[in-house]
């Protein structure tokens, strides 16, 4: 009897050591990224190791997930060479601590900083732009999983070609609210067996959102117009079923384009008849003085938002978080809330947000812009440094 106990313990110890060794090798022994605080690091690593152990002991477990297109995708083991086709996907992967498995990202994947650092070190390759993924570059990396977005036609077009070569493709949703994002995070976590990390992340995000939702005044809901670009490009806004639409709602605002779906083209009459209190324009790297000058020369100057000096231009990182349904979801809600209710939430903590009031445009966001502007052809053609 004692012999059996000793034998079992010995085997258990050896397996633990083996598991530790294997786990260390697979994860490189690094800790999770910045968004998860120091105190939690050890437990997360342990949780990872634990789930690794479980995987090792039962090698026959097949992982099955359903992607945004409703297809069931089955993995015998977690992929080790992953290509991400969208910045939001890259953010999720890195936040889940899966950066070692990433071999390809887009030129616009600028968060976290580590992503671009790994590119300059040669550990990750650029496979093209978000809207322009290069099939050949992707294939040359020999990936076993490519993750794209179901709402982006160029990604969908790659499906046949990649699957023909035996490369698995997983599509995340064109998120219209936080639940879509959570589904994606969970599904990706499941593939790699890091469900615990995912749950921690989601709890964190929920906490952030909750803290905003409780602080937001219920009786005062400013009307918001979101413009996806300068007026000259067309008055494109975000419909109620889009991610941005959800963000505005959650941050306590009313999206005047809420009744539309997708990315509707509005006209001045519509905007003026709704008379928004706040106008948020995605600056897309445009020169902000030129942009504000243009705005002041259009009928937008007749809106309440203009008269009360509440025109905001979001650029760079602030712009990124508003359009990427990913782990920085909570941060996005908070930034929007800071724009809508500066008295309650203080200035936005993510650069760059400009405010145009009284004829001048000034930066109101805290923090310095750490990345150069990503606009213009030259940045499109060269990898970001």
Check the CA dihedral 355-327-333-211 and report its sign: negative
Nearest to 25 by CA among 17, 36, 33: 17
**Residue number, 128 or 252, with CB nearest to another protein:** 128
Residue from 38, 269, 343, 368 touching another protein (CB under 8 A): that is 269
Q: Which of 272, 344, 364, 369 binds another protein (CB under 8 A)?
A: 272
- Which residue lies nearer to another protein by CB, 51 or 106? 106
CA distance 76 to 59: 9
Question: Which residue in 135, 139, 141, 266 binds another protein (CB under 8 A)?
Answer: 266
Q: Give the whole-angstrom CA distance, residue 294 versus residue 318.
A: 21
235 binds another protein per the rule CB under 8 A: yes
DSSP letter string, 2-64: HHHHHHHHHHHHHHHHHHHHHHHHHHTTPPP-TTS-HHHHHHHHHHHHHHHHHHHHSTTPPEE
Between 31 and 379, name the residue whose CB sits nearer to another protein. Answer: 379
Binding mask 350-379 for another protein (x = CB under 8 A): ------------------------xxxx-x
262 belongs to the binding site for another protein (CB under 8 A): yes
How far apart CA 314 and CA 57 sit, in angstroms, is: 50
Q: CA quadruple 305, 272, 276, 242: dihedral positive or negative?
A: negative
- How far apart are the C-alpha atoms of 362 and 100, rounded to whole Å? 40
Q: Which stretch binds another protein (CB under 8 A): 191-199, 218-226, 258-266, 336-344?
A: 258-266
| Cβ density class 278-310: b for 16+ within 10 Å, e for less | bbbbbbbebebeebbeebeebebeebbbbeeeb
Task: State the binding string over 117-146 for another protein (x if CB under 8 A, else -).
Answer: ------------xxxx--------------
Q: Give the span between the Cα atoms of 65 and 123, in whole angstroms.
A: 28
Please choose, out of 14-22, 76-84, 116-124, 222-230, the segment that lies near another protein by the rule CB under 8 A: 222-230
> Which lies closer to another protein via its Cβ, residue 145 or residue 281?
281
From 41-49, 137-145, 209-217, 224-232, give the range in contact with another protein by CB under 8 A. Answer: 224-232
Number of C-beta neighbours around residue 46 at 10 A: 12
CA gap 97, 44 in Å, rounded: 10
Give the x-and-dash track for 52-91 against another protein (CB under 8 A).
----------------------------------------
CA pair distance 108, 348, nearest whole angstrom = 22
Rounded to a whole number of angstroms, the minimum distance from the CB of residue 243 to another protein is 13
291 near another protein (CB under 8 A): yes
Of residues 296-335, which lie at the interface with another protein (CB under 8 A)?
A: 297-299, 302, 323
**Whole-number Å distance between alpha carbons of 256 and 274:** 7
Point out which residues bind another protein (CB under 8 A).
107-108, 129-132, 228-237, 239, 257, 259-270, 272-273, 284-287, 290-291, 293-294, 297-299, 302, 323, 374-377, 379-381
């Amino acid at each position: 009897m004692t012999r059996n106990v000793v034998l079992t313990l010995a085997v258990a110890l050896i397996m633990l050591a083996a598991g530790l060794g294997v786990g260390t090798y697979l994860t490189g022994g690094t800790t999770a990224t910045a968004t998860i605080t120091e105190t939690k690091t050890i437990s997360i690593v342990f949780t990872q190791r634990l789930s690794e152990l479980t995987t090792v002991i039962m090698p026959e477990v097949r992982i099955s997930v359903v992607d945004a297109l409703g297809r069931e995708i089955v993995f015998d083991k977690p992929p080790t060479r992953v290509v991400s086709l969208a910045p939001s996907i890259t953010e999720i992967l890195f936040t889940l601590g899966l950066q070692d498995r990433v071999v390809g990202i887009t030129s616009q994947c600028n968060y976290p900083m580590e992503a671009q650092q790994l590119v300059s070190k040669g550990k990750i390759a650029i496979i093209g732009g978000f809207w322009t993924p290069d099939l050949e570059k992707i294939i040359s990396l020999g990936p076993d999983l490519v993750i794209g977005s179901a709402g982006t036609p160029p990604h969908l077009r790659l499906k046949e070609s990649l699957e023909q070569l035996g490369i698995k493709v997983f599509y995340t949703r064109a998120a219209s609210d936080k639940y879509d994002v959570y589904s994606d995070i969970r599904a990706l976590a499941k593939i790699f067996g890091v469900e615990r990390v995912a749950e921690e992340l989601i709890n964190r995000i929920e906490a952030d959102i909750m803290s905003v939702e409780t602080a937001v005044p219920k009786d005062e809901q400013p009307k918001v117009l979101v413009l996806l670009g300068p007026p000259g490009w067309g008055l494109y806004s975000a419909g109620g079923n889009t991610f941005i639409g959800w963000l505005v709602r959650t941050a306590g605002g009313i999206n005047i384009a809420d009744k539309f779906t997708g990315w509707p083209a509005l006209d001045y009459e519509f905007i003026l008849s709704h008379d928004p209190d706040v106008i948020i324009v995605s600056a897309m790297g445009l020169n902000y003085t030129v942009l504000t000058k243009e705005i002041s020369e259009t009928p937008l100057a007749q809106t309440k938002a203009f008269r009360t000096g509440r025109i905001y231009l979001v650029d760079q990182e602030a712009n990124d978080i508003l359009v990427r349904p990913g782990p920085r979801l909570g941060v996005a809600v908070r930034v929007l809330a800071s724009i809508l209710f500066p008295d309650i939430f203080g200035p936005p903590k993510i650069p760059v947000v400009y405010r145009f009031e009284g004829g001048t445009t000034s930066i109101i966001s805290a923090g310095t812009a750490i990345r150069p502007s990503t606009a213009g052809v030259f940045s499109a053609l060269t990898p970001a440094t």
